[in-house]
Amino acid sequence: MEQLGVEPAEEAGRYEEEDAAQAMERVEAGEADCSPGAPGPEEPGGLTWLVPEGSSSSRVIVHVDLDCFYAQVEMISNPELKGKPLGVQQKYLVVTCNYEARKLGVKKLMNVRDAKEKCPQLVLVNGEDLTRYREMSYKVTELLEEFSPVVERLGFDENFVDLTEMVEKRLQQLQSDELSALTGSGHVYNNQYINLHDIVHIRLLVGSQIAAEMREAMYNQLGLTGCAGVASNKLLAKLVSGIFKPNQQTVLLPESSQVLIQSLSHVKEMPGIGYKTAKRLEALGISSVLDLQTFSPKILEKELGISVAQRIQKLSFGEDNSPVTPSGPPQSFSEEDSFKKCSSEVEAKNKIEELLASLLNRVCQDGRKPHTIRLIIRRYSSENHCSRESRQCPIPSHVIQKLGTENERQSYGGFFQRQRNKLGFSTIWKN
């Protein structure tokens, strides 16, 4: 057995911090003449563009990606770590590290032993308790909601923000004498020419102003830096946000979207195409974005189904109509851990109880009452590392009612113990 998880909901969810240096290796994009406009290594500044009269309908979506998030949280907690090569350790892996460590050869998900060989002066902190990261993550989302109510969380360190209405309001509030010029912030992808008579361009550039303000607020109020991508949809905003890192932002004008999309070396790098779908595409001889763009729609629909085929083929052209969906309170809580296989049923039960205790703390802090509990395991297998099994059952009303009282731990934990065999946990534990 390698992995256990417990959660009081139908669907499990696990947040993972993404690599902070992924996109720079994909593309060589020229720098625009305006600065990112947020504190840190960049200085404020910008270009001036004439805003023509009139308006048109065009979405303005921002993807905000925090720089080496776990490491930043640790440096905020302990300022003495700033300027030192820092790695956040979970088990035997460096799950993330700051830029000082990256410059010395440390990479995400590197074995601790290898990381110390690369960088003997590397400072390691234990990051197995996600509580502080989770709390800071929600603070970021709450801050972004002050700029727009339409904010969608994507893991601990990413958020989508729909600024369409905010941009429209700013344009309407500008006086005629203020329409002569606006200051935009950040890079313009591919050094593309800015059409001063194209309101779509203007809206995106106003969006870049607001993105810079959001990043500045994150730094001033929370001490965090991050990157941002400004584009007309979620797909493009996410892709362009990683072009200039760290602590910078980039706006993507529509005419350059194909340049960005085709810079991806493989379709699996495209948000919205998961591991299994990428494997099925490879079996069809599709590896590049161009392959997907030119592949027969009928054959693709036959192999993947109409809905999936049409969706991913549109993505390959940079088309993404999916809305930014306000996340609201999480619909499920989960606690997971990975470790070497358990040698006995007792050891497995102990692991479950550790996860359950952590999960119960979060449930009680949230205040809502869960109705379903689910146990997930992964059998030990040298061949299939993705095989997972699960069992779930409803939580009786009398147990739910006791949650929030001083006896909530005993009532919830006792229920879990009594339901083990009913749910088939013992059967799962035995190989």
DSSP per-residue string spanning 304-330: H-HHHHHHHHHHHTT----------S-
Domain locations along the chain: 68-129, 264-324, 351-400
pLDDT tens, the chain, 431 aa long:
333 333 333 333 333 333 433 433 333 333 444 444 444 434 333 333 344 433 334 899 999 999 999 999 999 999 999 999 999 999 999 999 999 999 999 999 999 999 999 999 999 999 999 999 999 999 999 999 999 999 999 999 999 999 999 999 998 887 655 655 666 789 999 999 877 778 899 899 999 999 999 999 999 999 999 999 999 999 999 999 999 999 999 999 999 999 999 999 999 999 999 999 999 999 999 999 999 999 999 999 999 999 999 999 999 999 999 999 997 776 677 777 766 677 787 887 777 777 777 777 777 777 777 778 888 777 776 666 566 788 888 877 777 666 655 455 555 555 555 544 444 433 333 33
**CATH code given to domain 68-129:** 3.40.1170.60
Domain 351-400 is classified in which CATH homologous superfamily?
DNA polymerase, Y-family, little finger domain (3.30.1490.100)
Decide which of 3.90.380.10, 3.40.50.11810, 3.40.1280.10, 1.10.150.20 is the CATH code for 264-324. Answer: 1.10.150.20
| The two three-digit tokens of residue 177, written as one number | 């004498």
Asked if residue 38 lies in contact with residue 216, where contact means CB atoms within 8 angstroms, the answer is yes
Asked if residue 92 lies in contact with residue 237, where contact means CB atoms within 8 angstroms, the answer is no
| 28: annotated active-site residue | no
Task: Give the predicted TM-score (pTM) of the model.
Answer: 0.72
| The two three-digit tokens of residue 317, written as one number | 């052209």
* 3-7 sheet: strands from edge to edge: 335-338, 3-7, 372-378, 389-394
CA distance 299 to 287: 16
What are the C-alpha distances in Å from 194 to residues 29, 69, 150, 186, 278?
16, 33, 27, 13, 35
Of 152, 158, 216, 335, which is the active-site residue?
158
- The yes-or-no answer to whether 264-324 and 351-400 have a common fold is no
Asked if residue 305 lies in contact with residue 311, where contact means CB atoms within 8 angstroms, the answer is no
Helix (H, G, I), strand (E, B) or coil at 300: helix
